[in-house]
Chains A and B, each alone.
Chain A
């Protein structure tokens, strides 16, 4: 009796499963064929929408995916290169006169001179740290395509997935000039922006560095990049 009750309480297999499968598959096949005929008819009568807006949405996601895959593959190499550059610069710095600390018994003038000469070194380190920080902080869809160092500045060429170019200039100890700019609140900090007919600028201070971004394509990219920096 107990066993019979147990059997009754167990879920019974649906005897119609096979029929439902056959029915659903036949329906899907018929529906698919009807849709393809309808598509051919609509195409011949030019009644299908162009879908260009959809192209942009989906292909942008695909391009971001390609960039991400590339970035993930090259990230270990990029990290190794950055570390190698740091180590090399550290090695070179120990060999330049500027990096020597004041020796015992040196005059105060010599000490001041040595301190002043180490300033460019600090700024160089600051610039390189800033460049490394920007490189790893870029949002998906952006990549650094070139870096130039000049005196107290580092200039980064950045491109988005639509190949729009943005220039980011880092100036160690740079002075922020915001006359004529509009203050923009960004992640709790303040940036200053300006939009002209043929270019846009966004500039701000962070950790002793002046960041200035320019683009001929509007300020959306400048803000998107700066969200991860400021």
Chain B
């Protein structure tokens, strides 16, 4: 019935206005074609006609069969028979290329179903085949339906359109109907078909459940419920009717047997049934048994009496039928009268036979007509009997197919509900667990941020601050509110703002971490040096969603560095002073001699002048000597002064190397003399110049000379040689002493600070390392030459490039 309605609806919508819901249900599903709807209508009518009009049924089935066959062959042969355009002329756009043509699977299933129905015509001969075909139809249908729930394209049969969802649904029902009908007819052959049907129903229920859960469940439930209600109302009415009939009959019979209360029992019994039990009892009478054994017609429906009717000459016959919405004549009931037969009677649709024990009674047609007879009217009929072998009846209670479908549907419902409930419980507990984990992680993170020794900040993708930790506020002196958005910029030291932005932009562009040392300016005017570091936060697709970073207060380190720098300078100065101290005695001595010369010459002039014997020649000569000796003193003083100065602040100026070396040597001369070291400085190139800080170069030279002196003082005839050399890019001052070189193991260490081979207190070990530092700051180097036989140190200066 439903199939018919649905089919009609689809046809209607195709014909008049494309209502996409009716046709397609969902926009991604294939629509039911017009022809499909047409054929569904025919099939449904065929089932309808099942009841009465066998001829009509056959006609419809045949029509369906031919139509479907034609369609299928269209696909197979590629020839257009023109049936697509039979009913619909134009192509209505609901995502289909052939508005009339149905999917090949659809055609195939139509063929199967119609064949199945037709086969039933031939009764039980093709029963098995019919069932198989129906099952196959069902299977194909379910595959077609499954194509909507899975991604396997095999169900869509290549490039052809999918079977429409409505089509699948309707097919399912029709196939099932087919199966059940077969079951009804050929239950002997197909005993387990209810279970098979049940299994298939179960499967269908599950698949439908997945998508149309509530709707279909509701729909089906409502429908079945309505059906049952209707039917039970019907039955109730009929029961009452029959009960009255029994009463009437009892009266009429005037039965005075031992169980005259039989009718009353029956009455009571009926009353105690609830309306879901389909009890429909009709009674008719037969005359005294008349057995005549003639030929028989094979029965395919039997009923059993397990107990003999104690009322010997009274048997209960049961014309049992009612009409259901499925268009079937579903016959069956269960009766449990103490004294009468126990089991069901399944009659064929023409109500022609029954079986008692191992005898089958075949009624003539008149008996069937007794249904229409008046009560009390006598109906004569023939009864043929034949003996048959009783088949063992299954112990199991056979459910009515109705009950079977219902109960299995309920089982499906319960099962799916259970699954869904379990699933959602699991989901809920997972969710709760996740929430808990998240909460834990959150609080851990908060605690961690608070415990970090540096301040943490977070910005969004546009650089606006969205979070600052407590420590950050401590460092900058800004409150979180003041820092949010663009506020944090005000915390930066004005001089550093530009460099911070520049570095930030560079880091963003190059996709590296941001790292920079900069200053915050606190509100009270204090400056805080920080090391800032930040990295980009990305979401799961890799897009930047902001940054997170930290600022570490490095004020202490900066202070330390400043102190160290200062100390370094002081160290250089003190080293120089120490050298100076060493030289002081010698310098004093060096000046005293020239002073004595002056004194002597002055005395000469004075005495002679006093005695009037001063000759001009003598005066001039003495004066000249005085002048030259004064020059010498100046040189020493000059050398001393330039050495003593802190040359760290000097500019690099061009100096004559010769002059530099000479001045320095004059400072050291005394020490050389006292140590009896012969000093050789031979240089003819007075034009060689370098850009340097003379004080510092002097310091290096003094250091080297002192080292040499210390090393060779014990020798027999010690000497120190100073040589100059130059090439294209460099100027060299070689300081060579009569020592035999430095041990290989010590060569790397001598330039290290605090390394000395002298006794404690004799040397700080700093001289060479400071000298090295000075040479580096001049762009040159201080090297020891290990390949030279004697100890040779080289001061290397970059040669000043001549600007032309």
**Pairing of A with B:** no
Instruction: Give residues in A with beta carbon < 8 Å to B.
Output: none
Instruction: Give residues in B with beta carbon < 8 Å to A.
Output: none
